[in-house]
């Protein structure tokens, strides 16, 4: 495995770990009655750090 593939795998793994952390903390902080709205807002939370990401959800 060359260095480029290794660094890409590390970046992808860190991205998955960060997205999972955001999901878990958002669900833990949510009210039990508010879980549906939190689940609907999660894609926006994940896309927030990405510059130029589309934030329009149908």
In a domain, 35, yes or no: yes
Q: How far apart are the first and last CA of the chain?
A: 41
**10 in a domain, yes or no?**
no
Average pLDDT, the chain: 76
Tell me if 56 is assigned to some domain: no
How many whole angstroms separate alpha carbon 58 and alpha carbon 56?
A: 7
Q: How many domains does the chain have?
A: 1
What pTM did the predictor assign?
A: 0.53
Asked if residue 27 is part of any domain, the answer here is yes
Is residue 13 included in any domain, yes or no?
Answer: no
Which strand (E) or helix (H) includes residue 53?
none
User: Residue 36: inside a domain, yes or no?
Assistant: yes
**Whose CA is closest to 12, among 20, 22, 24, 1?**
20
Look at residue 44 and tell me whether its pLDDT is greater than 60.
yes
Domain range spanning residue 38? 21-49
Residue 41, pLDDT > 70, answer yes
pLDDT of residue 58: 42
């Amino acid at each position: 495995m060359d260095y480029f593939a290794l660094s890409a795998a590390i970046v992808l793994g860190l991205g998955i770990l960060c997205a999972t952390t955001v999901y878990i903390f958002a669900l833990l902080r949510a009210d039990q009655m508010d879980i549906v709205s939190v689940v609907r807002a999660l894609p926006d939370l994940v896309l927030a750090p990405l510059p130029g990401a589309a934030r329009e959800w149908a």
